[in-house]
């Protein structure tokens, strides 16, 4: 049953998408001022994906973003000042200046797993998180993202298969933004819909317009509900477009201008603004209030990040190893006896109705006796004719001729036998031509 967001939730979706875009625009300006340590990976044109998917999660659920999923971090409760300080490598950043971009997490409070640069590896990791939550009785859902290029990695396929076999409550958001760095999707895979890859593993999949935040949210909400109900993992392919290069150093000159024009007309924020106006969910005053709120928050957080100190040299060794800095305790929400013997004991046997056999096209199961009757009967073979005296050696040679590589030569016995059977004049006609020996000096 479709459950539409409330008017307040509509405005909150707009707030997070616009906050996502305005925050990244400030990161771009700071990058050009040489205040960013590392790169900036823009999600311009993809804000509806990060916000719409993460908005479907509950506070106790887990997520693992990639570098273009700042919007998901904002929905999860990360403040812009944390993102700004992280990109500027300040000591007030979540990693105290030890890492850049969005490479930070919060396992204890907000249940965020840090991005992994080896694309695809987040899928098996989040599968483990989802399984652990189920084991502890937490009834959580885990969510992670992967790009169109990353869906060609081995870790993606291994992780998706593992999640399917374990029926893990995992939502995989496949962001088809048309480009894996400078390689178009058509040059990566021979299929149009990347969601088809889920079928090979028996995983439920959906395709959604990634520039429609309401469609993204609705598909994600249904997927999260399915996972929480124990129906196994879900893959959502969102069709969208990366409106900038891979990073700020990439001008994306390989993208046809007509492609940019096509997707610019489908900008997710502009579309949602038109929707809110058409359905009378806001007016100019409400929009102005949200925009002013975003500007005020970003001004305060940028000032905080720029005035924050850089880490000191002697602080580099801090946090490298866990030396009693925090306790690692599982949060059990079920009786441990449920997962211990004898309550958790199962018979070590698998019963399969058809024993993995092949069914006929009519759907009739064939028994071993039927298979034996339907099998082709062996035909009697003619008895070999006795060899005449002196033919044994010739027969052996015909079966296993001795030949030199790349053709027949003087060591080929079959070739020599053919020469002996030919008339002498034929030998002469095929004699190799020899050059006269040159005189010695």
How does DSSP assign 189-246, residue by residue? -S-S-GGGGGGGGT-EEEEEETT-HHHHHHHHHHHHHHHHTT---EEEEEE----S-S
Q: H-helix or E-strand containing 170?
A: strand 170-176
- Which pLDDT score, from 0 to 100, does residue 246 have? 92
Residue pair 163/203 in contact (Cβ under 8 Å)? The answer is: yes
Q: How far apart are CA 13 and CA 4, in angstroms?
A: 12
In order along its 441 residues, the chain shows pLDDT tens digits of: 457 899 999 999 999 999 999 999 999 999 999 999 989 999 999 999 999 999 999 999 999 999 999 999 999 999 999 999 999 999 999 999 999 898 999 998 999 999 999 999 999 999 999 999 999 999 999 999 999 999 999 999 999 999 999 999 999 999 999 999 999 999 999 999 999 999 999 999 999 999 999 999 999 999 999 999 999 999 999 999 999 999 988 999 999 999 999 999 999 999 999 999 999 999 999 999 999 999 999 999 999 999 999 999 888 888 888 777 777 788 899 999 999 988 888 887 777 777 778 765 555 555 555 556 555 666 666 665 655 555 444 444 444 444 444 444 455 555 566 566 666 655 554 444 454 444 444
Q: How far apart are CA 68 and CA 88, in angstroms?
A: 17
User: Residue 119 to residues 6, 108, 305: CA-CA distances in angstroms?
Assistant: 36, 24, 29
41-44: long-range contacts (C-beta < 8 A, 24 or more apart)? 41/67, 41/68, 41/101, 41/246, 41/247, 42/68, 42/242, 42/243, 42/244, 42/247, 42/248, 43/68, 43/69, 43/70, 43/71, 43/242, 44/242, 44/243, 44/244
Instruction: Give the chain's length.
Output: 441
Q: How far apart are CA 126 and CA 186, in angstroms?
A: 28
Helix, strand, coil fractions of the chain, as percent rounded to 5: 40, 10, 50
Query: 113 is written with which tokens?
Result: 């797993």
Q: How far apart are CA 64 and CA 72, in angstroms?
A: 9
Residue pair 178/241 in contact (Cβ under 8 Å)? The answer is: yes
Can you say whether the dihedral through the CA atoms of 154, 156, 157, 158 is positive or negative? positive
Assign residue 139 a region: left if phi > 0, alpha if psi is -120 to 50, beta otherwise?
left
**Neighbour tally for 225: CB within 10 Å:** 14
Describe the crossing of helices 392-399 and 413-421 by its angle, rounded to 10 degrees: 120
> In terms of DSSP H, where are the helices of 381-429?
392-399, 413-421, 424-429
Q: How far apart are CA 215 and CA 49, in angstroms?
A: 10
Q: What distance lies between CA 222 and its chain's CA centroid?
A: 20
Query: 420 is written with which tokens?
Result: 């002996």
Query: 185 is written with which tokens?
Result: 């999707």
Give the SS3 label for residue 146. strand
Can you say whether the dihedral through the CA atoms of 176, 181, 184, 186 is positive or negative? negative
Domain architecture of the chain: domains with CATH? 7-307 (3.40.50.970)
Query: 245 is written with which tokens?
Result: 């290069």
- Which pLDDT score, from 0 to 100, does residue 436 have? 47
How does DSSP assign 26-72, residue by residue? HHHHHHHTT--SS-----TT-HHHHHHHHTTS-TT-EEE--TT-HHH
- Which pLDDT score, from 0 to 100, does residue 94 have? 94
Residue pair 71/16 in contact (Cβ under 8 Å)? The answer is: yes
Residue pair 143/170 in contact (Cβ under 8 Å)? The answer is: yes
Cα Rg of the chain, angstroms: 34
């Amino acid at each position: 049953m479709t459950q539409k967001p409330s008017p307040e939730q509509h405005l909150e979706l707009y707030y997070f998408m616009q906050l996502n875009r305005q925050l990244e625009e400030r990161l771009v300006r700071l990058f050009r001022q040489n205040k960013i340590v590392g790169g900036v990976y823009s999600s311009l044109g993809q804000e509806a994906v990060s916000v719409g998917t993460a908005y479907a999660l509950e506070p106790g659920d887990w997520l693992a973003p990639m570098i273009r999923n700042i919007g998901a971090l904002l929905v999860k409760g990360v403040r812009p000042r944390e993102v700004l300080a992280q990109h500027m490598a300040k000591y007030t950043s979540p990693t105290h200046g030890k890492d850049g971009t969005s490479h930070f997490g919060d396992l204890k409070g907000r249940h965020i797993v840090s991005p992994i640069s080896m694309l695809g590896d987040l899928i098996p990791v989040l599968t483990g998180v989802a399984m652990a939550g189920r084991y502890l009785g937490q009834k959580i859902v885990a969510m992670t993202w992967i790009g169109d290029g990353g869906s060609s990695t081995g870790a993606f396929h291994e992780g998706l298969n593992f999640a399917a076999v374990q029926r893990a409550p995992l939502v995989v958001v496949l962001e088809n933004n048309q480009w894996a760095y400078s390689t178009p999707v058509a040059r990566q895979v021979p299929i149009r819909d990347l969601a088809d890859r889920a079928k090979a593993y028996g995983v439920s999949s959906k395709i959604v317009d990634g520039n429609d935040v309401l469609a993204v949210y609705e598909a994600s909400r249904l997927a999260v509900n399915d996972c929480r109900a124990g129906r196994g993992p879900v893959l959502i392919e969102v069709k969208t477009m990366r409106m900038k290069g891979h990073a700020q150093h990439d001008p994306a000159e390989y993208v046809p201008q007509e492609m940019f024009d096509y997707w610019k007309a489908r900008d997710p924020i502009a579309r949602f603004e038109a929707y809110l106006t058409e359905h009378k969910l806001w007016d100019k005053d409400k929009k102005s209030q949200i925009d002013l709120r975003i500007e005020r928050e970003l001004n305060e957080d940028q000032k905080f990040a720029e005035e924050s100190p850089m880490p000191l040299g002697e602080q580099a060794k801090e946090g490298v190893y866990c030396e009693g800095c925090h306790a690692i305790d599982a949060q059990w929400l079920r009786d441990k006896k449920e997962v211990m013997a004898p309550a958790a004991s199962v018979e070590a046997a698998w019963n399969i109705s058809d024993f993995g056999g092949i069914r006929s096209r009519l759907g009739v199961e064939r028994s071993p006796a039927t298979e034996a009757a339907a099998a082709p009967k062996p035909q009697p073979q003619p008895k070999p004719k006795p060899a005449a005296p002196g033919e044994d050696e010739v027969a052996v040679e015909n079966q296993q001729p001795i030949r030199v590589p790349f053709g027949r030569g003087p060591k080929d016995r079959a070739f020599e036998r053919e020469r002996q059977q030919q008339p002498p004049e034929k030998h002469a006609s095929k004699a190799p031509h020899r050059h006269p020996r040159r005189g010695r000096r």
